[in-house]
Structure 1
Amino acid sequence: MVMSTVFLEFWKRRRAELTYDWDLIDWEEEEEELRPQFEAKYSKVERVNPITGKPEPFQPFTDKLSRLMVSVSGIFLMISLVLTAVFAVVVYRLVAKEQFASFKWEFVKKNWQFATSGTGVCINFMIIMSLNVVYEKVAYLLTNLEHPRTESEWENSFALKMFLFQFVNLNSSIFYIAFFLGRFAGRPGKYNKLFERWRLEECHPSGCLIDLCMQMGIIMVLKQIWNNFMELGYPLLQNWWSRRKIKKGSPRQSMENKGILPQWDEDWNLLPMNPHGLVDEYLEMVLQFGFTTIFVAAFPLAPLLALLNNIIEIRLDAYKFVTQWRRPMPARATDIGIWYGILEGIGVLAVITNAFVIAITSDYIPRFVYAFKYGPCVDQGYRHEKCLRGYVNSSLSWFNMAELGNGNSGYCRYRDYRAPPWGSPPYDFTLQFWHVLAARLAFIIVFEHLVFGIKSFIAYLIPDMPKDLCDRMRREKYLVQEMMYEAELEHLQKERKKNGKRYNHEWP
């Protein structure tokens, strides 16, 4: 989380250097030309541009607001579709766990929870990849419906929609496992059921982090493999197929067989670049950035997998842009547009999410409370490994199996902080439960404020522009002022000499 702040601050420094090197310091988006679609749509409505002072097509506020409302409604509709898909996967897990628990193979029967989670993750990944195709088309239609003014506005609007769609699509199941799985399952004798038939799923006995790590690991690895195939394998197949479609016996084909086809024709046979520009490239990196920061406390291996993927991706992208894609048209830009704001939003979300993961999903807080309040080292005032002796027994509650009415007798243990059957009242939350809950809430508040304070302090310490670049810019500004001063002084001297000659000539 702190590293994400350092990354963004150093990116701003790098962005300042690139902007200076490409002479884009004073370039403004107002200099960008209007989209032809915008001019054709609003050619009859004009207003004077306050920057240039020239009349140009104008989109009325009411028209812009109505189109924006339709676009927002479409976004919420697609997000609802994502949540529906997640709910379908949850129902599958509830049905599959019963099937795997009664499976004929002893290995699958003993590991029914891992089998349920593994198959659920694979099905969820296939749904994610399928819905991504739909989301891209919907985002394209909604963005065109808004009629953005310039190409940069179109790309920013399209990029925001694609990020919202794919971020929710990719992380909704992970949020479910991290914060909802097993939270509303109930207790023995009073389990909550879905549709009054299937008992709600619980976490693995070792904790919900196992399910969360499995979900993140499988999705991250499969997604990286799929993306690498689509970035390199798909262009290779497309270019191979386009070369085969050239008719045999034509002059062009004979020239190609002899290896004398002009370079521009060979370049034209390559796959055209995505019409969305670099949106897909940015989107892939931003989603990976979110994957490695939002749940890094639960899956510390994510940054390493991202590093290995990026090392491979750098070479694949270089090969793709040089040999498989046509050269794209250059366009001016002073920064990465809306993506920087998205990265900052992910950094804020990562702090909040990791605080909840540590406090709620992991066993860190219950262990901490037990060691300092209920463990064998309470009177000694320090924490040691021996202070956690008896923690497992303290985290388990008692249940009288005779209450089920199926002929069983005796007692069983389940993971919760509830009073025993002989308690008063039975199965009510114990004082330890409320101590753990209070400690979790306190940890979330302290952790968030502490990390946000550190992030702000680091952002303050790291300047947005390198000192040598700042000195060069100030030096250039000083030289320009000197040149303007000297030019104005020379102009005044010439005017004075000219006026002096005229005065001497007119004097009798």
Structure 2
Amino acid sequence: MTLFPATVFLEFWKRRRAELTYDWDLIDWEEEEEELRPQFEAKYSRVERVNPISGKPEPFQPFTDKLSRLMVSVSGIFFMMSLVVTAVFAVVVFRVIAMEKFASFQWEFVKKNWQFATSGTGVCINFMIIMSLNVVYEKVAYLLTNLEHPRTESEWENSFALKMFFFQFVNLNSSTFYIAFFLGRFAGRPGKYNKMFERWRLEECHPSGCLIDLCLQMGVIMVLKQIWNNFMELGYPLLQNWWSRRKIKRGGQNMESKVLLPQWDKDWNLQPMNAHGLVDEYLEMVLQFGFTTIFVAAFPLAPLLALLNNIIEIRLDAYKFVTQWRRPMPARATDIGIWHGVLEWIGVLAVITNAFVIAITSDYIPRFVYAFKYGPCMNQTYGHEKCMRGYMNSSLSVFDMGEGRNGQPRYCRYRDYRAPPWSPEPYEFTLQFWHVLAARLAFIIVFEHLVFGIKSFIAYLIPDMPKGLCERVRREKYLMQEMMYEAELEHLQKERKKNGKRYHHEWP
């Protein structure tokens, strides 16, 4: 249900953006009015063309040069994404090795809960890798953006923001996608387990299902990341300003002279705003929006944690901007730039991802198929509890472990839909497996089309501009046309009178 409020949020933001654009008189402002970046002018000052908007000559970047630089930038982006995949694979290898070590641990508590221990340590290591790679990504994105030589500051910020989003989105969610859709899918079965490097068994999901691993992954990363971000929002500027005051004091200024400093001098001693402007602030909120909506079916607590974090961060940002940072330079903008398109893209991805989470990761579809096809409610109507009797036994397959000490056959059960060892085709997928698979695919198709339809209907019901504002804009355009018409009419009348007097004087 969080997907629909996300759509409503985006639609109402469009309305709010229209109101702010009108209040700041930016409706007719175009990005062509922006000045060129000095770096762009210095690089392409020898190549000029006439601007089709202003009609004045300006530096121009040739298409071949722009394409070659863009290809290098895209190659760098894919290289960094491959680095993320490599890091995820390294964490997977660690989890596989740690699983074996924790299962044979001497401490009985760890030995009994080896799966939770493996998941917990894997998540913590993955979080440290995420935060370490984010520092590298920022420097690489900065270099690649400067390599492209964007024309204006807004183009530079959009290009840099898009790279940072792709880097950090893949970095933050790659391990989550692995747990949601790949963990335990290729582990094999008893007697035929798949092994990594022919030594270690691949990791399987918790006996209660893969959803618990996904929930643990999201919960730990979301909580730790919010704590770290809030610490950096408040602690880092405080430490920097404290060190700056300490250096001033060491430079010979005592406390009395410091009090007598003018306000502008005190403001100058504060920390300068990030060179990337508000990109980091937008990026943090957009990543949180994606983390909240993409896997909300697996972690319903994410919206509540995001709300609590945002309430705290509003005050931290206010304190930071007012007391710890210098006043930023104002700049014109009609909207939030490329971030709105990113939010729309996240909304589409969230629908697809949640459909797969519900159909593949959770047990909703297998339970549904059992209740209406294999359970006691096939031809009759009972309560939910009666319909699910025998579901656990139906979802477990049988493996022959051979004869025991007393000569009796031994069997174990595992989660899968395979034929028993005494069947004509032992350990092959049963008909129930194919029914569950078909139901999953059907659910994905129906869910996606239904949710996309509702999202489109909600977007249609909520106009991008309030009716009152739309009428005011149209009224202003009408009055402007009337004023232009009256001014032109007055000008023509004056010209006619002047020409009439001249004709009267010239007539003999």
1:152-167 aligned within 5 A: 152-167=154-169
The answer to whether the aligner puts 1:105 opposite 2:107 as a matched pair is yes
**2:418·2:428 contact (CA, 8 Å) conserved in 1?**
yes
3-state SS, counterpart of residue 246 of structure 1: helix
**1:177·1:212 contact (CA, 8 Å) conserved in 2?**
yes
- State the partner residue of 1:373: 373
**1:174·1:216 contact (CA, 8 Å) conserved in 2?**
yes
**2:183·2:203 contact (CA, 8 Å) conserved in 1?**
yes
Any idea what the Cα deviations from partners look like across 1:224-262, whole Å, max 9, x if unmatched?
000011111000000000111125363xx1476451101
Deviation, structure 1 residue 52 = 1.1
- State the partner residue of 2:261: 261
- State the partner residue of 2:389: 389
- State the partner residue of 2:4: 2
Q: Distance in 2 between matches of 1:129 and 1:490?
A: 68
3-state SS, counterpart of residue 412 of structure 1: strand
3-state SS, counterpart of residue 49 of structure 2: strand
Q: Distance in 2 between matches of 1:57 and 1:174?
A: 46
Q: Which amino acid aligns with 1:350?
A: A
- State the partner residue of 1:54: 56
Any idea what the Cα deviations from partners look like across 1:65-123, whole Å, max 9, x if unmatched?
11111111111111111111111111111111111111122111111111110111001
1:403-414 aligned within 5 A: 409-414=409-414
1:7-46 aligned within 5 A: 7-46=9-48
3-state SS, counterpart of residue 410 of structure 1: strand
- State the partner residue of 1:72: 74
- State the partner residue of 2:123: 121
Deviation, structure 1 residue 381 = 5.0
- State the partner residue of 1:315: 315
Number of equivalences: 505
Deviation, structure 1 residue 47 = 1.1
Q: Distance in 2 between matches of 1:479 and 1:56?
A: 35
Runs of 4+ in 1 over 6 A off after TM superposition: none
- State the partner residue of 2:243: 241
Deviation, structure 1 residue 496 = 2.6
Q: Which amino acid aligns with 2:224?
A: L
Q: Distance in 2 between matches of 1:206 and 1:50?
A: 64
1:212-223 aligned within 5 A: 212-223=214-225
- State the partner residue of 1:210: 212
**2:158·2:338 contact (CA, 8 Å) conserved in 1?**
yes
Q: Which amino acid aligns with 1:166?
A: Q
Deviation, structure 1 residue 408 = 9.7
- State the partner residue of 2:347: 347
Compute the TM-score of the two structures, normalised by the length of structure 1. Answer: 0.97
Uncovered stretches (5+) of structure 1, i.e. residues with no partner: none
Q: Distance in 2 between matches of 1:22 and 1:278?
A: 19
1:453-472 aligned within 5 A: 453-472=453-472
Deviation, structure 1 residue 409 = 4.8
Q: Distance in 2 between matches of 1:258 and 1:302?
A: 46
Q: Distance in 1 between matches of 2:66 and 2:475?
A: 44
Q: Percent identity?
A: 89
3-state SS, counterpart of residue 139 of structure 1: helix
Segment drifting more, 165-174 vs 375-384: 375-384
Deviation, structure 1 residue 490 = 2.0
- State the partner residue of 1:359: 359
Q: Distance in 2 between matches of 1:164 and 1:403?
A: 55
- State the partner residue of 2:429: 429
Deviation, structure 1 residue 429 = 0.3
3-state SS, counterpart of residue 250 of structure 2: coil
Structure 1 pair 157–383 and aligned structure 2 pair: CA distance change class (3 A)? farther
Any idea what the Cα deviations from partners look like across 1:298-337, whole Å, max 9, x if unmatched?
0000000000000000010000000000011111111111
CA RMSD of aligned residues (A): 1.6
**2:103·2:112 contact (CA, 8 Å) conserved in 1?**
yes
Q: Distance in 2 between matches of 1:61 and 1:382?
A: 69
Q: Which amino acid aligns with 2:500?
A: G
- State the partner residue of 1:89: 91
Deviation, structure 1 residue 222 = 0.3
- State the partner residue of 1:398: 398
**2:399·2:411 contact (CA, 8 Å) conserved in 1?**
yes
Q: Which amino acid aligns with 1:366?
A: P
Uncovered stretches (5+) of structure 2, i.e. residues with no partner: none
- State the partner residue of 1:271: 271
3-state SS, counterpart of residue 425 of structure 1: coil
Q: Distance in 1 between matches of 2:66 and 2:239?
A: 42
Structure 1 pair 500–255 and aligned structure 2 pair: CA distance change class (3 A)? farther
Any idea what the Cα deviations from partners look like across 1:360-400, whole Å, max 9, x if unmatched?
00000000000000000101156632100000000000000
- State the partner residue of 2:135: 133
3-state SS, counterpart of residue 402 of structure 1: strand
